[in-house]
Amino acid sequence: MEFLISPNVAYLLVFIGVMLLLLIFSDTKYSLPKVGAMLFCLLAGGAEFFVLHGNTWAFLIVALSPLPYFIVMRQERLHNPLFLFTILMLTMGSLFLFVDEDKTPIVNYGLAAIASMFGSTYIWLTVQRQRTARRGVLIGDTLVGLTGEVWVAIEPFSNGSVRIEGVLWRARSKENIPAGSTVRVIREDGITVTVMKVEAISKERHK
Specify burial of residue 71 (Cβ count, 10 A radius: 0-12, 13-18, 19+): middle
pLDDT at 93: 93
The residue that leads in pLDDT, 198 or 199, is 198
Question: In this predicted model, what pLDDT tens digit does every residue of 164-192 receive, in sequence order?
Answer: 877 778 888 988 999 889 999 988 876 68
pLDDT at 7: 92
Rounded to a whole number of angstroms, the distance between the first and last alpha carbons of the chain is 65
pLDDT at 24: 81
- Give the end of a domain, one of 92, 118, 138: 138
Q: Which structural domain, as residue segments, surrounds residue 124?
A: 2-138
Give yes or no for residue 23 having a pLDDT over 60: yes
Please give the tally of structural domains in the chain: 2
In this structure, the answer to whether residues 123 and 177 fall within a common structural domain is no
Distance between CA atoms of residues 205 and 207, nearest Å:
6
Which residues, 6 or more positions from 147, have their beta carbon under 8 angstroms from its beta carbon? 164, 182, 183, 184, 185, 198
In this structure, the answer to whether residues 123 and 156 fall within a common structural domain is no
In this structure, the answer to whether residues 128 and 157 fall within a common structural domain is no
Distance between CA atoms of residues 164 and 7, nearest Å:
39
Distance between CA atoms of residues 92 and 115, nearest Å:
11
- Grouping H, G, I as helix, E, B as strand and the rest as coil, residue 187 is strand
Give yes or no for residue 139 having a pLDDT over 60: no
In this structure, the answer to whether residues 117 and 173 fall within a common structural domain is no
| pLDDT interval class at 138 (50, 70, 90) | very low
In this structure, the answer to whether residues 131 and 172 fall within a common structural domain is no
pLDDT at 206: 44
In this structure, the answer to whether residues 181 and 127 fall within a common structural domain is no
- Give the end of a domain, one of 138, 159, 182: 138
Of 120, 93, 87, nearest to 14 (Cα)? 93
pLDDT at 30: 54
pLDDT at 165: 79
- Grouping H, G, I as helix, E, B as strand and the rest as coil, residue 128 is helix
Question: In this predicted model, what pLDDT tens digit does every residue of 34-79 receive, in sequence order?
Answer: 788 999 999 999 999 999 999 999 999 999 999 998 888 776 555 6
Give yes or no for residue 27 having a pLDDT over 80: no
Distance between CA atoms of residues 71 and 76, nearest Å:
10
pLDDT at 97: 94
Cα distances from 31 to residues 11, 14, 16, 23, 187, in angstroms, run 23, 19, 15, 9, 28
Of 150, 159, 205, 204, nearest to 177 (Cα)? 150
